[in-house]
Structures are given as structure tokens and as C-alpha cells.
Amino acid sequence: MSSFAAAAAAPVLSPARAASPLPLFDAHVHYSHDAVIAVPPAQAVAILRQAGLRGVLVSSSDDDGTQKLLAEAPDLIVPELRPYRTRADTSGWVRDDGIVRYLEQRLARHRYVGIGEFHLYGADAELPVPKRMVALARERGLLLHAHSDADAVNRLFVQWPDARVLWAHSGFEAPQAVRDMLRRHPRLWSDLAFRGDHASGGKVDPAWREAFTEFPQRFMAGTDTFTPERWHYIVPHAEFTRAWLADLPLPIAEHLAWRNAEALLRAPERST
């Protein structure tokens, strides 16, 4: 029996766990131009620390928001580069050559662990702009954070078989479909941002429990602050996350809470 299988069979010692809040790494935060105005950097960092986060993967439209947060809390913020100059790029970026120039300029100027989160679906992954984005990530060994359907994710791995892909929102797929993709792609990870189907009332859904048990090292928590108002949900979301993680064996809970994100997002920094 594997260590994770043994852990899954073991009882959960909730009183001991309640004595010390579980650290969390939020793998899906945006700090875009309107959020910078509504929630200034010092206040934003205070919210992140109040939530008990040990790390935060941040991307923004445009990238200036990420750089402001990074300057405010370099110990906390892990930056990735979104291929969006404004939110208007969300739908049209795949056919805009200016996005390539924007990425090249920012990559030359700043350091990132990944490119994303980007919206990319189906055969659009074969268009010249997304393919150049993948090439830029490949040249630098960067993660791809894809808000995509399974078809686009498969196409990304065809372009770059050794890519590390973080699947935003687990593709909004059912847990069995997510498991199928994780079996197919050993270098695919899934965030759980902006989902509520995996847990309710502090109890993990049985189908998701099977997914977490099979792939304890491939999932991670996330909030998704896609509007400024969502910043005020970071602390309640952290509390919600800790509540359902407490329904899992501690070794699995720790991996979903922070260990997986730490290994995926900070290990490359330490090795360079």
C-alpha cells in the first residue's frame, strides 16, 4: 500500500489539526488595473496575510499590478505573466500579433514562473500567436497556466511534450474527466479556483475525494479574483478551503493546501 493510500485509510485527527490553521498557497489570483485602484497594494497584501497564505500565484491585466504586489511582498508573491494588456484582450489575444511583442518585452524586463492565466480553446491553440507564446515559455522553462478545454490542453502537450501545465479551474470538467486527463498527462496539474462542486458544508464530494486520493500531488487551491470585488472573498475562501480540507487525511490535505503549489511554483525559482 502506498503512503497516500495508507493515509487515505487513516482516521482524520481534527482536534489536533484545529489547533493550528493549515497553511495555504493560493494558485489563482489576479490583480488587474481596476483592482489596484480599488484595493491598493498594501491593503491587498494585508488581505493575503490575513488569509494565512504562504504563497500566491499572481497574474494581472496588465502586468503592472503583479509587479506592484511583488514589490510590496516579495516573500509572498509568485509572479506569472498574463498575455493581456487589458481585459479586452481576453477574447481576441489569440489573433493579435501585438500580444507577442508584449510578452517578449515583459519577459525581457521581469522574472516569472509561468505564462498565464490565458483563455485558449480547441484548435485556437494551433494559431500563430498561441504557438509563439508556447515557444517563449519553452525557451525559458516557464509553466503554462491554461483556462482551456481538454482539447486545447492536449494540443499544448503536442506542441511541447515536456511542458508543465496548470489547468485553471480543472477545466470546469467533472472529476472523472479530470482524472482521465491527469492519467494521460503526467505533467498536468489542476487548480480548483472558482469551483464549488468539490465540497459542500465542509464535506468533500465522493467523486472528488477519489480524484484527490488518486492524484494527491496534482491538485491545488485557488480563489480567482477576476473582479476587484473578489479580493474581499479571499479570507472567506481560505476559511472555506480549510474546512473541506479538514475532511481529508492530513497528508493529502497538506499537498492540496500548499505542498503541490510550493513544489510546482517555487522549486523552479530555487533551482535557477
User: Torsion angle, CA of 232/238/240/243, rounded to 10 degrees?
Assistant: -160
- According to CATH, the topology of domain 24-271 is TIM Barrel (3.20.20)
Tell me, what's the pLDDT at 22?
Answer: 97
Give 157's Cβ-side CA count (13 Å radius): 18
Tell me, what's the pLDDT at 202?
Answer: 97
Residues 6+ apart with CB under 8 A from 178: 167, 170, 171, 190, 211
Looking at the chain, the whole-number percentage of residues with pLDDT higher than 70 is 91
DSSP H helices, 114-263, are 128-140, 150-159, 175-184, 206-214, 234-245, 250-254, 260-261
Residues 6+ apart with CB under 8 A from 28: 57, 117, 168, 191, 193, 194, 222, 223, 224
pTM for this structure?
A: 0.92
Q: Would the pLDDT of 272 be above 90?
A: no
Confidence of residue 20 (pLDDT cuts 50, 70, 90): confident
Q: Helix 41-50 and helix 64-72: axis angle, to 10°?
A: 60
